[in-house]
A = this chain, B = another copy of it.
Amino acid sequence: MANTNPARGMRDFLPADVRRRNYVINIVKEVYERYGFEPLETPAVENIETLMGKYGEEGNQLIFKILKRGEHEKTGEADLALRYDLTVPLARVVAEYKNELPKFFKRYQIQPVWRADRPARGRFREFYQCDVDVCGSKSMVVEAELCAAVSDVLVRLGFNDFTILLNHRQVLAGILDAAGVPTEKHGDALVALDKLGKIKRDGVAKELEERGITSEASKSLLGLTDTIGGAIALTAMMEDSNLNKLNKDLLDYLSEFIGAHEVGQKGLDELGQILNFVEANNAGNNILVDVTLARGLSYYTGAIMEISVPDLAGSLGGGGRYDGLIGMFGKEEIPACGFSLGLERIIVVMTERGMFPDDLIGVNADVMVTIWNEESVADSLALANELRKSGLRVEVYPEADKLGKQFKYASVKGINYVCTLGDEERANNKVALKNMTTGEQETIERSEILAKIKGK
């Protein structure tokens, strides 16, 4: 007997799962379209050079690589790879079709990506990303619209306790410079700092030391996060906690910390604009400036965002500005910024919290047609055909089994009405219609079936 499991970290979606997934996807699509985004789809498979070197060292390791084919198979080399995210393919597409696309290309893309990660709760090796990106503008209106769109999606799905954490790569650079971390150690410091939520203050201190950050710099950084953490905790305790106010205070404090650092101050200015615009877009009270947010991907250049909910260790989604990525593919630098929602994470939380509507898992048919005997098969099929033409979803029991067995099947599948063409009904051109909920059965004209079923 063969192994019938899906591959490690991958999943089969039975009908009820697909319906839940489509429920979320349809809301995501609808909201994104309301913001003027258009759909894009790219192949699952990319040339391997397209992906390599775009995601940092760890990313490279997690890419699924595809063997060359035919006589080249025995070389053991790969020339293709599975899509790792939707952002790099977008950058390739924008570079390739620049002249066919509008000046501001606003696209959404909802497709699977593959990462050879260790599977965990809510982390799979095949998972869907729901991306929105705007290419062609450096304006912070873009960041604000993205935050508002993603926020709308979550509200429409029923979330009311999410926070969009906001930071900026250039502000981080300013902070690290001001703390006295040398440029070549910025990466190390960020990796450590990013773990504050997970390994706490002492863990971060230890990791900073291990990574060769001086104790002065470490003390300065942790002093900053202590102060900020305190301010956040204080605000959370206040009855009328106002994130807008808190964010502005945080920006002021960071501005002082960074001092005359030009790049860092520009980053702070951009964060200020985003907060300002998002407040206008009515998504303001879900956003919080978080200096420990670093994001792993190496292509970000400006604002970075991540969505957090209390009951999930990872994030529901994230994104940021990547003004250099498209230029890696084309002749021209084209600024861009995007946000990606993780479908699986959203579904995990919604399932655990019971957020799906009760009537989502509908039955697959409005009515089932039985088969009375071998001689009446064609007549039953003709009836099914007639009912489908009237708009009903019709399942035909495929065999001339005992009628009891056929009714039981309809009942197990939750189909509410069953039509039978017995000898008498066929002779009189009528139909026996049974309501499976009430148990009531009546013999009626064929033309009455639709009204009976729809009028319930």
Chain B's nearest CB lies how many Å from the CB of A369? Answer: 10
Contacts A2-B329, A75-B76; is A398 near B44 (CB within 8 Å)? Answer: no
- Do the beta carbons of B96 and A10 come within 8 Å of each other? no
A372, chain B: closest CB distance, angstroms: 13
| Complex A-B: 11 CB contacts under 8 Å | A3-B47, A5-B96, A6-B43, A36-B364, A38-B364, A76-B77, A102-B409, A103-B409, A141-B377, A141-B396, A145-B381
- In the assembled complex, A432 has its CB within 8 A of some CB on chain B: no
Question: For chain A residues 137-184, which have a beta carbon within 8 Å of chain B?
Answer: 137, 139, 141-142, 144-145, 148, 152
**Complex Cα gap A328–B2 (Å):** 7
- Residue numbers of A with Cβ under 8 A of B are 1-7, 10-15, 17-19, 21-22, 33-47, 49-50, 61, 64-67, 69-70, 73-78, 80, 82, 89, 92-93, 95-97, 100-104, 106-107, 112, 114, 116, 125-126, 134, 137, 139, 141-142, 144-145, 148, 152, 276-277, 279-282, 328-331, 364-365, 368, 371, 377-379, 381-382, 384-385, 388, 391-399, 409, 412-413
A396 to B146, alpha carbons, bound, how many Å?
11
Known: A65-B73, A280-B381. 13 other contacts (CB 8 A): A10-B43, A12-B96, A18-B38, A34-B393, A44-B112, A45-B64, A45-B114, A61-B69, A65-B69, A67-B76, A134-B398, A145-B381, A281-B385
Residues of B contacting A142 in the complex (Cβ-Cβ under 8 angstroms):
398
Q: Which residues of B contact A66 (CB under 8 A)?
A: 64-67, 82
Output the nearest chain B residue to A413 by Cβ-Cβ distance.
Answer: B102
Complex alpha-carbon distance, A76 and B67, angstroms: 8
Q: Measured between C-beta atoms, what is the minimum distance from A105 to chain B in Å?
A: 9
**Neighbour of A96 across the interface among B4, B36, B281, B330, CB < 8 A:** B4
Alpha-carbon distance A46/B4, docked complex (angstroms): 10
Provide the bound-state CA to CA distance between A6 and B6, in Å. Answer: 28
Q: Which residues of B contact A89 (CB under 8 A)?
A: 12
A381 contacts which chain B residues (CB < 8 A)? 141, 144-145, 148, 277, 280-281
Residue in B33, B97, B378 whose CB lies within 8 Å of A393 = B33
- Docked Cα-Cα span, A2 to B242, in Å, equals 47
B36, B38, B279, B364: the one contacting A394 at CB < 8 Å is B36
A376 to B: closest C-beta gap in Å:
10
Residues of B within 8 A of A280 (CB): 377-379, 381-382, 385
Known contacts A1-B331, A15-B39, A365-B36: A277-B104 contact under CB 8 Å: no
State in angstroms the CA–CA spacing of A90 and B396 once bound together: 21
Whose C-beta in chain B lies nearest to the C-beta of A283? B385
Q: Which residues of B contact A364 (CB under 8 A)?
A: 33, 36-38, 106
With contacts A34-B388, A76-B76, A396-B36 taken as known, whether A329 is within 8 angstroms of B4 at the C-beta atoms is yes
Decide: A141 and B399 in contact? CB cutoff 8 A.
Answer: yes
Given A100-B14, A413-B102: A279 in contact with B393 (beta carbons within 8 A): no
The CA of A364 and the CA of B328, in the complex, are separated in Å by 28
Contact assessment for A7 and B378 in the assembled complex, using a CB-CB cutoff below 8 Å:
no
User: From A101, which residue of chain B is reached at the shortest CB distance?
Assistant: B14
Q: Which of B44, B331, B413 contacts A114 (CB 8 A)?
A: B44
Which residue of chain B is the closest to A367 with respect to CB atoms? B36
Query: How far apart sit A131 and B387, CA to CA, in the bound complex (Å)?
Result: 23
